[in-house]
Amino acid sequence: MDSLIKDKDNPVAFSSSLTQFFTTIAGLSAFSLRFFKDVFLPPYEFGEVKKHMDELGIKTMPIVTVTGFIIGLVIAMQSQPVMKRFGAESFLPGMVALSVVRELGPVITALIFAGRVSSGIGAELGSMRVTEQIDAMEVSAINPYKYLVVTRILACTLILPILTLYVNFLAILGGYLAVALSESSSFQLYINAVFKSLEFSDLIPGILKTFIFGFIVGAVGAFKGYTAENGTVGVGKASTSSVVMASLLILLTDTVLVKITVWIWPG
């Protein structure tokens, strides 16, 4: 994607970059489809999945903790003067909660997760590829895709919704802090207003799409690392390009999912 922007003024280079981009998308699609075939085949590496979930979740927790709290704090601080101007301060807790739960929480958590996890998976598998560890596994009659790729994609798919719920909770707390700093409002009153504005249909779409975002993060990172070449230079490119591609696909997928969500839950 970076090369597309850089080479747009050179027709030949732009055509080559565009071809390479679509080739990458085709390769990623085939790579991802293989996951749905291998995930149901034994052996089932539950221990590896749990290990990756612990590692990915714990190492991502500090940054999403800070980000989640600041999201709610900043939204409330920015919106409060506007709401006050129209005499709608009572709607501020509900506005913060709806903004975070329906859109900002899932998307921002997924983007942070992509930056933290996708690059790590790409670098880790890329190093194993260029040092021929994956080739050694194949020679030893071990399915490296099943052991290395499927477990990581499953871990990303399952851990991201949990992180999103955690970020949503912290963002709502951050919103309360902004309200408490500017006016005397009890925590119980704030929470009652939040739950009064939220419905079950607001929470479910935001959480469901994080499963898709988690799959994208895991699949892109694993694909870039699994297909890395050209030594250590290829490992660096796999790590960088996995973040760019995962973030781009998350935003594009979110655009489609928002439209589907509005169509299914128009309220």
Angle between helices 119-130 and 200-226 (to 10 degrees): 20
Determine contact, residues 161/207, Cβ cutoff 8 Å. Answer: yes
Residue 78 CB neighbours (<10 A)? 10
Q: Tell me: pLDDT of 150 over 90.
A: yes
Residue 267: its pLDDT value, please?
57
How confident is the model over 54-98, as pLDDT tens digits?
888 888 899 999 999 999 999 998 888 888 887 777 888 888 899
pTM score of the predicted model: 0.88
Determine contact, residues 117/54, Cβ cutoff 8 Å. Answer: no
Determine contact, residues 142/246, Cβ cutoff 8 Å. Answer: no
Name the residue type at position 119.
S
Residue 185: its pLDDT value, please?
73
Residues 6+ apart with CB under 8 A from 257: 205, 209, 212
Distance CA 207, CA 194 (A): 18
Distance CA 89, CA 99 (A): 16
Residue 80: its pLDDT value, please?
84
Q: Token match 């996995």: residue?
A: 242
Q: Tell me: pLDDT of 11 over 80.
A: no
Determine contact, residues 99/191, Cβ cutoff 8 Å. Answer: no
Q: Token match 């732009």: residue?
A: 14
Terminal alpha carbon distance of the chain: 36
Determine contact, residues 64/166, Cβ cutoff 8 Å. Answer: yes
43 preceded by a cis bond (ω within 30 of 0): yes
Average pLDDT, the chain: 86
Determine contact, residues 210/164, Cβ cutoff 8 Å. Answer: yes
Residue 2: its pLDDT value, please?
52
Residue 39: its pLDDT value, please?
85
